[in-house]
């Protein structure tokens, strides 16, 4: 990996982790907006399960993506988590959630693009099925 690619990778990974960690506070603290989102997606009886479950997945992604040896795996977990968020925006929530001006959607798109870039950069670090790697 070139020095420039390494720098791009680190910037992308740090930004992903910062976005996830920032949203974790709202999910784990039961902020009103998070409760609204997951109630709309899952119903009141499963709201906490969805909110905390997605928060744990994002925490795992943030941790894995910051460790150089597991960056590719972190990018995969991140892409899975953020794909769920984007699908929710496209199908149930809309682009603007509770008058946020599309901020949550924009953050989700940012994480998706950065995670795809990290996975592309670190793709050779993943085992190839059928090889002795």
| pLDDT tens digits, one per residue of 86-119 | 999 999 999 999 999 999 999 999 999 999 999 9
| Rounded alpha-carbon distances, angstroms, from residue 45 to 82, 98, 101, 125 | 23, 21, 28, 41
Within a domain: 98: yes
H or E stretch at 38: helix 32-42
Within a domain: 133: no
Number of structural domains (the chain) is: 1
- Residue for token pair 């928060």: 55
Within a domain: 132: no
Main-chain dihedrals φ then ψ at residue 30, nearest 5 degrees: 75, 40
User: pTM above 0.85?
Assistant: yes
Q: Any residues with CB less than 8 A from the CB of 54 and at least 6 apart, and which?
A: 27, 38, 81, 84, 85
68: domain range?
A: 3-125
Within a domain: 131: no
């Amino acid at each position: 990996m070139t020095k420039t690619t390494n720098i791009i990778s680190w910037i992308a990974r740090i930004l992903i982790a910062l976005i996830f960690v920032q949203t974790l506070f709202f999910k784990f603290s039961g902020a009103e907006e998070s409760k609204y989102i997951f109630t709309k997606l899952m119903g009141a009886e499963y709201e906490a399960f969805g909110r905390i479950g997605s928060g744990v997945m994002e925490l795992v992604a943030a941790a894995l993506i910051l460790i150089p040896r597991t960056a590719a795996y972190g990018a995969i977990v991140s892409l899975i988590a953020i794909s769920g968020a984007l699908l929710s925006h496209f199908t149930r929530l809309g682009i603007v959630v509770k008058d946020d001006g599309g901020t949550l959607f924009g953050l989700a798109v940012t994480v998706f693009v950065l995670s795809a870039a990290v996975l592309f950069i670190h793709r050779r670090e993943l085992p190839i099925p059928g090889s002795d790697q």
